[in-house]
Structure 1
Amino acid sequence: MHYEVHGRTDPAAPVVLLSSGLGGVAHYWTPQLPALARTFRVITYDQRGTGRSSDSLPQDYAIADMAAEAAALLDELAVETCHFIGHALGGLIGLRLALDRPALIDRLVVVNAWAKTHPHTLRCFAARKSLLLNTGPAAYVAAQPLFLYPAWWMADRTGWLAEQDAAGLAHFPPAHTVLRRIGAIEAFDIEATVPAIAAPTLVIATRDDVLVPSTCSVRLAERLPQGRLELLDHGGHACNITDPAGFDALVGAFLRVE
């Protein structure tokens, strides 16, 4: 997988691994790099089948496979423990990794994530799959911001959104890759094992997320032995992009950034 390392280079520097949502690409975290890079060695990566990690995915591809790939990357870089920050699907990867390789995770941050995929989220993905299969990638890409950002935030950013649409369409992966990644999300269910996650976990959620009900994060935080919930009124699904300063402050305090 393609990866990048930012920030501190000294061997003693604490490590943060950033894992993106369904889009899967490293540059999703660009707004967070300046704040994190001052304190940490920051690793970003394109998940398998996305961006510069283009690859075919097996038919039964699962979140557990994505967690194993993240663990393999950390092993390759000789990282014995790290903080993990994951958005949506990336948060699911972090939760699975905390179960499968608990020694790798010092502190965990999950953003608009969940323990079991909610029926509302399944309905949203059914609509997105229909767009992809029946209308094509252009319609799928054009609809994507509706699930990520609040309307008030998008209203003044039509030029930026057009640039994002063009870039997303130019680098769009094969449809079967997108469908298999969505299938992994749809099948995700760790309800029974959430209490086994020992890592201190910050659960960040927004009430105006149209893709994932905030109640999913509330339930997740309640069942985590060391879970802490930050429930925001505004910000949408991609709250780290719509309010980077507020997001960075929450994460910095949790990771004890000086």
Structure 2
Amino acid sequence: MLSTRDGSIYYETHGEGPPLLLIHAISAGAGMWSAQVDRFSRDYRVIVLDARGVGRSSSIRGWKRIREQITEDIPRLLSHLGEESATICGVSFGGVIAQHLAARHPQLVDRLVVVDSYSDTRPTSVSKALWLASVYAGSPSNLLPRRTLARVMRDQYRRWPDAAEYLSDAVMELRPIDALKSRCAINLVNFPPALNAANYPILGVVGENSWPRSIRFMEELQRAVPRTQLVRVANSNDPTPLCQPDAFNDILAEFLGEQ
């Protein structure tokens, strides 16, 4: 457990080698990365955590600078572990936090992996404006009864039974207000200028069955930041590391091996 001035952050490390830090999907917690821990802890020091507001970590403070609160726990964790930098990989919510970290602390990033996420959600088009409005309107769904949310997860992920089981269990541990805060905090972002100002390699991964507009968001990242390598994963939804863990692991291993 990492102690901070305003709480504590749960984390685990597995294996030895170059550090690989994995940031989970919203409210999913460190356990969603078990397949990646098994694969990559052979050659890497794999670091997983419960982000602030999730699982065994402290709650989010107030309603201001929430994205910064969550993100700034990561430099503290890396320093605590004696790591000067790491490969940073985030999926969905975690992809936003990973990019926010990369924008604020580029010196901490050896490589950046963005999975089933987005980089620029400014309402610069009708479709983006409608998406942004729908996400804000849907954010209170985090306050629904946990059993209702668990049924929704099982239904939405019935094609991916392992993901359905994990996510339905995860929402039974949901902290509704923290989840609502996190969801609202990550909606409006613009990371390409900061990503273009840096030079770390970037991998984008997106499931071909992900949520509406997800593929377009990831394609927009590749166009906005041309050094981004984008890989689409067949028969996968957000989060791809849970829906297609073997395919995702192969993609990540190839990216890490190329650098």
TM-score normalised by L of structure 1: 0.84
Using a 3 Å threshold, how does the CA distance of structure 1 residues 227 and 27 change in structure 2: closer, same or farther? same
Give runs of aligned pairs for residues 196-235 of structure 1, distance below 5 A.
196-210=197-211, 212-235=213-236
| C-alpha separation in 2, matches of 1:193 and 1:145 | 37
Pick the aligned partner of 2:82 from 78, 81, 87: 78
Q: Does 1:63 align with 2:56?
A: no
C-alpha contact (below 8 Å) 1:2/1:52 kept by paired residues: yes
Give runs of aligned pairs for residues 1-258 of structure 1, distance below 5 A.
1-8=9-16, 13-117=17-121, 118=128, 119-120=130-131, 123-124=134-135, 126-127=137-138, 129=140, 131-133=141-143, 135-145=144-154, 149=157, 151-154=158-161, 161=164, 165-166=168-169, 168-169=171-172, 171-173=173-175, 175-210=176-211, 212-256=213-257
| C-alpha separation in 1, matches of 2:99 and 2:187 | 15
Q: Which is further off, 82-91 or 111-120?
A: 111-120
Give percent identity, aligned residues only.
24
* Secondary structure of 1:39 counterpart: coil
| C-alpha separation in 2, matches of 1:186 and 1:162 | 26
| C-alpha separation in 2, matches of 1:136 and 1:39 | 41
Which residue in the other structure is 2:124 paired with? none
| C-alpha separation in 2, matches of 1:123 and 1:248 | 32
C-alpha contact (below 8 Å) 2:135/2:187 kept by paired residues: no
Offset of residue 52 of structure 1: 0.4
Query: Which residue type is aligned with residue 2 of structure 1?
Result: Y
Using a 3 Å threshold, how does the CA distance of structure 1 residues 162 and 105 change in structure 2: closer, same or farther? closer
RMSD: 2.5
Using a 3 Å threshold, how does the CA distance of structure 1 residues 112 and 17 change in structure 2: closer, same or farther? same
| C-alpha separation in 2, matches of 1:164 and 1:209 | 15
Query: Which residue type is aligned with residue 107 of structure 2?
Result: A
| C-alpha separation in 1, matches of 2:27 and 2:106 | 26
C-alpha contact (below 8 Å) 1:108/1:202 kept by paired residues: yes
* Secondary structure of 1:142 counterpart: helix
| C-alpha separation in 2, matches of 1:78 and 1:110 | 24
| C-alpha separation in 2, matches of 1:163 and 1:227 | 30
Query: Which residue type is aligned with residue 25 of structure 1?
Result: G
Where does structure 1 lack aligned partners over 5 or more consecutive residues? none
Using a 3 Å threshold, how does the CA distance of structure 1 residues 214 and 5 change in structure 2: closer, same or farther? same
Q: Which is further off, 14-23 or 227-236?
A: 227-236
* Secondary structure of 2:74 counterpart: helix
Q: Which is further off, 54-63 or 17-26?
A: 54-63
C-alpha contact (below 8 Å) 1:113/1:212 kept by paired residues: no
Q: Which is further off, 196-205 or 247-256?
A: 196-205
Offset of residue 58 of structure 1: 2.1
